[in-house]
DNA sequence: AGTGCTTGGTTACCAATGGTTACTGTCGCG
DNA sequence: CGCGACAGTAACCATTGGTAACCAAGCACT
């Protein structure tokens, strides 16, 4: 018997735990960036694309749809001649900006340590042999 | 002149900003789970694999190597007969547990909202047509 | 009137990544 | 002598991320 042992705590290690669902979404690079981009107010698709930088339209669309599905943002289509679609964070989406900010703060603080560790690690490999 | 405008703030939206490097690592689903698994102390490879749940050995290896490179954990090989490798968080890695905990807390708190939104969204589509 | 531009996509298509399965090497044990 | 444990690695697929081309609607311009 495997006795799946209901994951009471946020045992995200169990693939069956729904917390994992959320982590999968957060774990998406673009989702995090989109939330960051939208935290100052709604943006339209094309602006968002530039703002996030380096995201392909297709992937941005996918990301936005997934986020809309999860209730993180709303998608408003204006029936205009050049189509205009606004994306805006919902309260739920906005509530994520805090945790994400914590993360980016950490990133900024420890960036140099990481880059340093990376250099050390790479230097420890046989330099002639192109590591990677 | 493009004048890349030095990303002074942690403008992770600029792909050139090194903060993005860190976000890419955090954005890795397995990295987050590994840190969670290791926060109570060092674990050996096989235990880690079970603990994380659903990770393939190859991917776990990749993840651990990348984390080692970034100075998030140490890899200790014991020259024993059945090989034994222990992975332990460094101080740097341990300092990430806080931000990550923030995230998982959010996940637990808002999980029901997300699942609810998801149901609503799915129900809005033509039920006969199997969306997705 | 016709052409082209803008916006927000979608549809191939291709490369990279994630994931699964099988296999290796060493050494003690039965 | 062969089996099993451990920590991977190799080879091989599947899924996904990313690119480039195209579409539809309507207006401005020629």
Please report, rounded to whole angstroms, the spatial distance between the CA atom of protein residue B128 and the C1' atom of nucleotide C10.
Answer: 22
CA distance A72 to A97: 11
Candidates 1.10.10.10, 3.30.70.1230, 1.10.1740.10, 3.40.50.970; correct CATH number of B19-124? Answer: 1.10.10.10
pLDDT at residue B12 tops 70:
no
Q: Whole-angstrom distance between the N-terminal and C-terminal Cα of chain A? A: 43
The label of the residue with tokens 């809005």 reads B124
Indicate the residue of B54, B92, B117 with minimum beta-carbon distance to A70.
B117
pLDDT at residue B11 tops 90:
no
Rounded alpha-carbon distances, angstroms, from residue A13 to A21, B94, B96, B99 = 11, 18, 17, 17
pLDDT at residue B98 tops 80:
yes
B107 near A12, Cβ under 8 Å? yes
B105 or B13: which leads in pLDDT:
B105
Tell me the chain B residues in contact with residue A93 when contact means C-beta distances shorter than 8 Å. Answer: none
The reply to whether the CB atom of residue A82 sits less than 7 A from any atom in nucleic acid chain C is: yes
B64 near B75, Cβ under 8 Å? yes
Q: Give A74's contacts (C-beta < 8 A, 6+ positions apart).
A: A68, A87, A88, A90
pLDDT digits (tens, 9 = 90+) for B71-93: 999 999 998 878 899 999 999 99
Residue nearest to nucleotide D5 (CA to C1'): B82
Q: For residue B63, which nucleotide's C1' is closest to its Cα?
A: C18
The reply to whether the CB atom of residue A63 sits less than 7 A from any atom in nucleic acid chain D is: no
Q: How large is the average pLDDT for residues A21-49? A: 87
Three-state SS string across B7-20, please? CCCCCCCCCCCCHH
User: What is the total residue count of chain B?
Assistant: 132
B107 near A10, Cβ under 8 Å? yes
Q: How large is the average pLDDT for residues A12-24? A: 69
Rounded alpha-carbon distances, angstroms, from residue A126 to A6, A119, A130, B65 = 48, 13, 8, 16
* pLDDT category of residue A129 using cuts at 50, 70 and 90: very low
Please report, rounded to whole angstroms, the spatial distance between the CA atom of protein residue B120 and the C1' atom of nucleotide D12.
Answer: 40
Residues of chain B with pLDDT > 70: what percent?
80
> In a 3-state reduction of DSSP, which class is residue B74?
strand
Give the DSSP per-residue string, A47-98. Answer: HHHHHH-S--HHHHHHHHHHHHHTTSEEEEEE--SS-EEEEEE-HHHHTTHH
Domain boundaries, chain A: 19-124
**B window 97-126: Cβ near strand C (< 7 A):** none
Please judge whether A23 and B29 are an interchain contact, meaning their C-beta atoms are less than 8 angstroms apart: yes
The reply to whether the CB atom of residue B102 sits less than 7 A from any atom in nucleic acid chain D is: no
The C-alpha of A130 sits at a distance from chain B's nearest C-alpha, in angstroms, of: 15
pLDDT at residue B41 tops 90:
yes
3-state helix, strand, coil in chain A (%, to 5): 55, 10, 35
Please judge whether A15 and B53 are an interchain contact, meaning their C-beta atoms are less than 8 angstroms apart: yes
Indicate the residue of A18, A29, A72 with minimum beta-carbon distance to B111.
A18
Mean pLDDT of chain A: 82
């Amino acid at each position: 018997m495997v006795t799946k042992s209901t994951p009471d705590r946020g045992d995200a290690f169990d693939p069956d735990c729904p917390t994992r669902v959320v982590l999968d979404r957060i774990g998406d690079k673009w989702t995090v960036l989109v939330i960051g981009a939208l935290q100052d107010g709604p943006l339209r698709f094309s602006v968002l694309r530039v703002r996030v930088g380096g995201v392909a339209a297709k992937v941005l669309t996918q990301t936005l749809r997934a986020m809309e599905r999860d209730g993180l943002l709303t998608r408003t289509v204006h029936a205009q001649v050049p189509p205009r679609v606004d994306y805006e964070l919902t309260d739920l989406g906005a509530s994520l900006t805090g945790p994400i900010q914590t993360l980016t703060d950490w990133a900024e603080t420890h960036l140099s340590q990481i880059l340093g560790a990376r250099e050390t690690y790479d230097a420890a490999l046989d330099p002639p042999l192109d590591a990677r």
